[in-house]
Amino acid sequence: MKIINNLTNYIEKMSKKEFDKNLKLFIGLIFFLVIGLSYFFYTENNDLISRIKDTNKLKLKIQDIETRYKKIQIEEDRLQKLLEEDKDFNLRKFFEEFCSQQNISPEPNWDTQETVASDKFDEIKISAIFKNQTMQKLVEIIEELNKKGIVYLKELKIENQNNGKITFYIDLATKKFKQV
């Protein structure tokens, strides 16, 4: 209460010119204070909104990664089950039997195997070239390969020949438990 009384006495002792000057100064300070606070809250609000948007983008990326991880886990479990069922699977023997069943013969030097290591499994790959084949035969081969879940088509390249036939380059692969 004493402060208010002192302020009132100070204001009463001022001249009209001093009062107007101090009032304008006080109103100006209040105006700049309001503008400053408004700008501060505006920038903080925009910063929070952009952080929320970034967080939502990250959440969507995490959900996508989680979905892909689950798919990979399912495929890994399926592959592990197949490998456990057929522990002695040999890609070279499979390919020889497959070619004889399909009445096809690859070009020489197909039996070179490549092994690529990964975390849990090693990938074994065989490349072969088949000349003078028809597109229908290629489709039949791919359908039969898809039936054998442990073998998959890694790469396929098709070239047309002048006689209406095709040459295709095929890479077959399988997985094996990592040799420790």
Number of domains making up the chain: 2
Same domain, 158 and 110: yes
Residue 79, domain member (yes or no): no
pLDDT tens-digit map of 116-153: 777 677 788 888 888 888 888 888 888 888 887 788 88
Residue 82, domain member (yes or no): no
Report, in angstroms and rounded to the nearest whole number, the Rg of the chain calculated over CA atoms.
Answer: 39
Same domain, 43 and 93: no
Residue 73, domain member (yes or no): no
Same domain, 42 and 102: no
The pLDDT assigned to 42 comes to 96
One pLDDT digit (tens) per residue for the chain, 180 residues: 888 888 788 888 888 898 888 889 999 999 999 999 999 999 999 999 999 999 999 999 999 999 999 998 888 888 778 777 777 778 888 888 888 888 888 888 776 667 777 767 778 888 888 888 888 888 888 888 888 778 888 888 988 887 888 888 988 888 876 655
Task: Give the torsion sign (CA, 59, 65, 68, 72).
Answer: negative
Find the domain containing 170 and state its range: 88-177
The pLDDT assigned to 34 comes to 95
The pLDDT assigned to 57 comes to 96
Q: Do 150 and 83 touch, CB atoms closer than 8 A?
A: yes
Residue 95, domain member (yes or no): yes
The pLDDT assigned to 58 comes to 96
Same domain, 161 and 102: yes
Residue 72, domain member (yes or no): no
Same domain, 14 and 54: yes
Residue 80, domain member (yes or no): no
The pLDDT assigned to 111 comes to 63
pTM above 0.95, yes or no: no
The pLDDT assigned to 73 comes to 86
Q: Going by C-beta distance under 8 Å and a sequence separation of 6 or more, which residues neighbour residue 125?
A: 113, 114, 115, 116, 154, 171, 172, 173
Residue 76, domain member (yes or no): no
Report the CATH number that the domain containing residue 140 is assigned in CATH: 3.30.70.60
The pLDDT assigned to 49 comes to 97
The pLDDT assigned to 144 comes to 86
For 73, phi and psi rounded to 5 degrees?
Answer: -60, -45
